[in-house]
Structure 1
Amino acid sequence: MFRKIFIPLCLLVGFYATAQEEQEAAKPIPPAQSFVTRHQIQNGGQTVTFTATAAEHYLKNEEGEAVASIWAVAYTRNGVTNPATRPVTFVFNGGPGSASVLLHMGLLGPQLVKVPSDADADDGAAPYRLQTNQEGILDLTDLVFIDPVGTGYSWVVGKGKTEDYWGLMEDARSIAAFMRQWVTENNRWISPKYIAGESFGTTRAAAVANTLEGDGQDMALNGLILISQALDYAGSTSVHGNITSYLTYLPSMAATAWYHKKAGKGKTLEAFVQECRDFTYSTYAPALLKGNLLPPAEKQALAEKLAYFTGLDTPYILKSDLRVLIPRFQKQLLQDQGLAIGRLDGRFKGDESDDVAENPHLGDPASYQISSAYTAGLNHYLANSLQVRMDRPYLTDNGELANQWRWRTAPEGTYWEPMPVNTARMLGDTMRRNTDLKVLVASGYYDLICPFFDAEYTFNRNGIVTERVHFSYFEAGHMMYTHETDYQKLSRDIREFISNP
């Protein structure tokens, strides 16, 4: 009798335990928050009155249940006679794991955080300086700043799971779904549409543009603004064995060495960089392909030439087997001064306690010397200008997301071998199906994480229609807009790009 009763009781207890776990796992679905304010700004020689809508937008599953909340800040111009024909630009940063804070508060938003333009000082502690974006483009286009799930105020709700969003294609599908939803809710299907992305945000932009062509809701884009592009990671991953990266990073090393007066004396930056480009194509690439077949005399000559371009010692380059990794370059270039240079921007310098470490151990000075200002500036702006009141912190960056990111491009259950991430082929295919899609590629000469030569290498391959690609170069790094002159130049370039479809 005991056994007959015990077994059903175990099943019953197990059932209730499972149900309880599922109930606990499902996150509550609070009402979507929305904060609407009205503003005025001078952009493009015009007085622009606009509405700022900072709001949560719920993505739903096939059953119509909310499973994720996307936080976005939209700036839409008031008094537009036919808003359906006014351009709208969707903006996001990269990471993966970064909110849209940098492009929002550094380049395109109505208010900007200002940090030392010449990378010669740390942002220090509060108070920080915010100023009106006089070079903005709100006279030309509405702007929608998007924070992907897990960043900013965006998160999963209800039965949603982070793994449904924390991956290359999962992320692209969620952003595409949000864009379609926003366009539908705001009656903007026939508006010209642009995406502006930075770093991994450019990887995402190519994937999103491709994704938007499917699902029975084909949405063709007019243009992509790719800031510090990272479409093919073979050219932006400085690790041994990746022969492409030795080539793509060399001109950026040369430019950075020129900036710090370690190379290229008496030459302009552009001339020195072009000299390095020519050397990379004609001499360095064939030499790397030869490997150990390279005769000693040629190896010595090559090391001397690499020293000429990089500002490093010839013996060090020989010990490196003619292959200098970027983290080592960061420590070696200014070793005589006891300084490590930045990765995101080689202009920045950090004073580290361990001068013989192989890699910078404090982190990237191009990041930690500006991040506090941007975080504080964004939080101040949301609370005071946009009147946002949320019950959780705004995550400008989420390391947990990055650590759990899924790079797999093939469906589960199908064969897949890990390869460098590459969405460039997606962009090439999309450009050939959409003959109006054009691309602006903005690159910093001193960017040591997404090198400018990699942009050239990538966009001259992968089926991309180069006649519709415009390259623009800046004397700064990854976030070139932190340099005042380049902020103005990039703003002008984007204005011209959108003004001339």
Structure 2
Amino acid sequence: MSEDNTTTKEQADSKKQPLEPLPHTVAKQYVWQGPDGAKIPYTATAEMIPVRHDDGAPMGHMFMFSQVCDDAPADDRPVTFCWNGGPGGASYMVNIGGMGAKRVKTDGMAHLKGVGEVEDNPYSLLPNSDLVFIDAFGTGYSHVDPNYDAKKVWGVDGDADAFTRGIIEWLTEHKRFNSPLYLYGESYGTMRNAVVYRMLGEHGIGVTGVIEQSTILDYAPTLSGNDAYYMGMVPVYAATANYFGKAGAGEDQFKWYNKAFDFVNSTLAGALVLGDELPASRMDQIAGQMSELIGLPKEFIVSKGLRIELDTFRKNLLKDEGKTTGRYDTRFTTYAYQDVQGDNEFFAGEDPSYDAINAAYLDVYMKMLSDMGFTGYENYEGLSMKVNEAWNWNHQAPGTMGSPQTPNVAFDLATALRRNPTSRILFLGGIHDAATPYWNVRHDMSKMFLPQELKNRIEYQLYSNGHMLYCDDVALAAAGAELNAFYNKRHED
């Protein structure tokens, strides 16, 4: 008789090993020096923060990397919690590439060498706020407890709940309750921001400000054939065509972008709604206007029914040069793939604007942690496809019924602002961002029908960058002034 290899749940649970021993907390003192010679002494701390459920059961440990000013009074010193998106992305990019005290120097649209050059970040948020960079569960060094179901935290609501708990735990551990609290998210991190903003309020914790960089609030435009997708892309296409000299030669980049923005609202939106009921003569006329804006032939646009997919645009704008453009930042280019390599799924995932920076960013970040004495685990998950593919998109927004798998967290953002009308929201967009087009967030927020008093608490800023603001020094310099003003507004109310 063969041996019975079945395993009971109790036996399986008993084999699960806890996450202990955890890497020890490490801290190191530094001095940040700004471009004007100003100096800020600060302590960088790498630590694993325990996150627990209401019943005390451990959910796991979140890796948090903080940079805290050593000589500023904590009562008026803001603390900003920062993260990237994905879902499945760790927070190293917004740290070592973007808002942290140190960064990897950029080189325009050039592909960075594997060995990144590090400098004190002249655009860091540190002069305005202490910083805490958090890795989502299953990313970076953050680990779900082996006795906890990871599916509970790999989803819109579970993820936001875990971050809310993690933030509260950090505030408790570091005795920072009643400090001005800010949230800074990029990409999917802006969706996380919206829900965490609401959830923190429901836990009795006030949020002073929310910063949304490269925002996506409504996931419906990611569905096949959604008209809002095509509308949002056209201004990005126009800015890209202008950058490469394919349209609007000699025109200011922002004027050209805004011209396309207005075209979408005044002309394209109504045409897309009509579909194939749009008269042929009108189709031809609109395609001609669109061709002038985005640099593709009128006949080609007509053949696509005015609906130009991003991959179609990326493949065709620079086709005569044998190149394709980026997605996160459409100004980056790479050599075009031959058809044998060019299936849609593969091509959609190829992005020269990501390839150009990722290795340098991650290598520098790992060295920085190592130099501090934090060894972490065997592998730092910069981008976990396991988390991404397991994501639960169900989300019941406040005031709605059901839990659609295409979440719209603009409702969460608007609800949180209504409940906390002294808080502020700042949207930072880029004209070359084809991952989270700026047109869409303006459209999404316009449907919230907020009263003017609350609309006055929201700011929209548009720059020359793509998805990663920190890849563009010109945009960073402009955004730095806006961010400084945003933080200072906490004293105006």
Instruction: Please tell me whether residue 498 in structure 1 is matched to residue 490 in structure 2.
Output: no
Matches within 5 A, 1:31-46: 31=22, 33-43=24-34, 46=38
CA displacement at 1:289 relative to structure 2: 1.6
| Counterpart residue type for residue 93 of structure 1 | N
Matches within 5 A, 1:447-458: 447-458=433-444
CA pair 361-296 structure 1, distance change in 2 beyond 3 A: closer
Query: What is the aligned counterpart of 1:470 among 446, 459, 462?
Result: 459
Match of 2:330 in 1: 346
Match of 2:413 in 1: 427
Match of 1:199 in 2: 187
CA pair 65-425 structure 1, distance change in 2 beyond 3 A: closer
SS state at 1:422 partner: coil
CA displacement at 1:131 relative to structure 2: 1.0
Deviates more, 1:302-311 or 1:192-201: 302-311
Q: Work out the CA distance in 2 between the residues paired with 1:416 and 1:429.
A: 17
Deviates more, 1:277-286 or 1:352-361: 352-361
Instruction: Please tell me whether residue 75 in structure 1 is matched to residue 67 in structure 2.
Output: yes
Match of 1:7 in 2: none
Contact 2:154–2:387 under 8 Å retained in 1:
yes
Query: What is the aligned counterpart of 1:134 among 122, 146, 161?
Result: 122
Deviates more, 1:257-266 or 1:268-277: 268-277
Unaligned runs of 5+ in 2: none
Query: What is the aligned counterpart of 2:88 among 92, 97, 100?
Result: 97
CA displacement at 1:75 relative to structure 2: 1.2
Match of 1:161 in 2: 149
Q: Work out the CA distance in 2 between the residues paired with 1:77 and 1:466.
A: 33
CA pair 63-274 structure 1, distance change in 2 beyond 3 A: closer
Contact 1:26–1:160 under 8 Å retained in 2:
no
Alignment coverage as a number of residue pairs: 478
Match of 2:363 in 1: 376
Deviation track 1:18-76 (CA, whole Å, cap 9, x = no partner) reads: 32211124544324621111111124753211111100011123443433000001111
CA displacement at 1:105 relative to structure 2: 0.7
Match of 1:403 in 2: 389
CA displacement at 1:98 relative to structure 2: 0.6
Contact 2:432–2:465 under 8 Å retained in 1:
yes
CA pair 417-425 structure 1, distance change in 2 beyond 3 A: closer
Q: Work out the CA distance in 1 between the residues paired with 2:37 and 2:212.
A: 26
CA displacement at 1:84 relative to structure 2: 2.9
Q: Work out the CA distance in 2 between the residues paired with 1:88 and 1:181.
A: 14
**Structure with larger Rg:** 1
Contact 2:66–2:133 under 8 Å retained in 1:
yes
Query: What is the aligned counterpart of 1:480 among 469, 482, 492?
Result: 469
Match of 1:223 in 2: 209
Query: What is the aligned counterpart of 1:304 among 288, 305, 322?
Result: 288
Deviation track 1:293-331 (CA, whole Å, cap 9, x = no partner) reads: 211111111111111111011121111111111111111
CA displacement at 1:426 relative to structure 2: 0.6
| Counterpart residue type for residue 270 of structure 2 | P
Q: Work out the CA distance in 2 between the residues paired with 1:115 and 1:296.
A: 47
Deviates more, 1:82-91 or 1:194-203: 82-91
Instruction: Please tell me whether residue 171 in structure 1 is matched to residue 159 in structure 2.
Output: yes
| Counterpart residue type for residue 486 of structure 2 | F
CA displacement at 1:201 relative to structure 2: 0.4
Matches within 5 A, 1:4-23: 17-23=8-14
TM-score (norm 1): 0.90
CA displacement at 1:134 relative to structure 2: 2.7
Q: Work out the CA distance in 2 between the residues paired with 1:79 and 1:324.
A: 54
Q: Work out the CA distance in 2 between the residues paired with 1:54 and 1:131.
A: 20
SS state at 1:29 partner: coil
CA displacement at 1:193 relative to structure 2: 0.5
Instruction: Please tell me whether residue 180 in structure 1 is matched to residue 168 in structure 2.
Output: yes
Contact 1:425–1:463 under 8 Å retained in 2:
no
Query: What is the aligned counterpart of 1:269 among 221, 240, 253?
Result: 253
Match of 1:316 in 2: 300
CA displacement at 1:255 relative to structure 2: 0.9
Query: What is the aligned counterpart of 2:354 among 343, 362, 367?
Result: 367
Match of 2:41 in 1: 49
CA displacement at 1:270 relative to structure 2: 2.1
Instruction: Please tell me whether residue 122 in structure 1 is matched to residue 108 in structure 2.
Output: no
Identity %: 29
CA displacement at 1:234 relative to structure 2: 3.0
